[in-house]
Amino acid sequence: MTNAPQSPVDWGDVPDPSAVGRPHREFDGWKLLRIVVCTVGLLSLATWGYFAWPFPMPGILFMIGAPAFAAVVWYLFRSPASPIETDVVGKTIVEVALVIAAGACWLSIGHPVVGLVFVLVAALSGVVQFRKETR
């Protein structure tokens, strides 16, 4: 009961009445960039499966299988809710491998500039995330 009489010493524990019931969320641009990088990485792997392999059978397998494999590896070893506890070095190794794989996809289908830009943006995002995790 927050409207009960209290001494002046207890006022620090009483929440602001205007903030009760409303979640306070701040916009985090780095988190948004992180989501965009992960999405573009998965789409890069799917694009590679489409352009690098003949379409009917192996193309569909690689279009679906490569991003699915990358998502499972990311979930198991890198995600915040991963079931396998991994130290910072292991998480970094997994993330670097996935970023290089997505960048190499663009290189292999003939777009090295897109791959280089993706790797640079993903590296920036990864360094910022690493710094947040190790504070």
What's the CA gap between 13 and 9, in Å, rounded?
9
Task: List all residues 6 or more positions away from 96 whose beta carbon is below 8 Å from its beta carbon.
Answer: 126
Residue pointed to by tokens 């979930």? 75
Domain coordinates in residue numbering, the chain: 28-133
Predicted pLDDT of residue 37: 93
Q: pLDDT digit string (tens) for 89-102?
A: 888 899 999 999 99
The C-alpha angle with vertex 32 and arms to 71 and 16, in degrees rounded to 5, equals 120
Q: Does 6 score more than 80 pLDDT?
A: no
Q: pLDDT digit string (tens) for 18-73?
A: 666 666 677 788 889 999 999 999 999 999 999 998 888 898 999 999 999 999 99
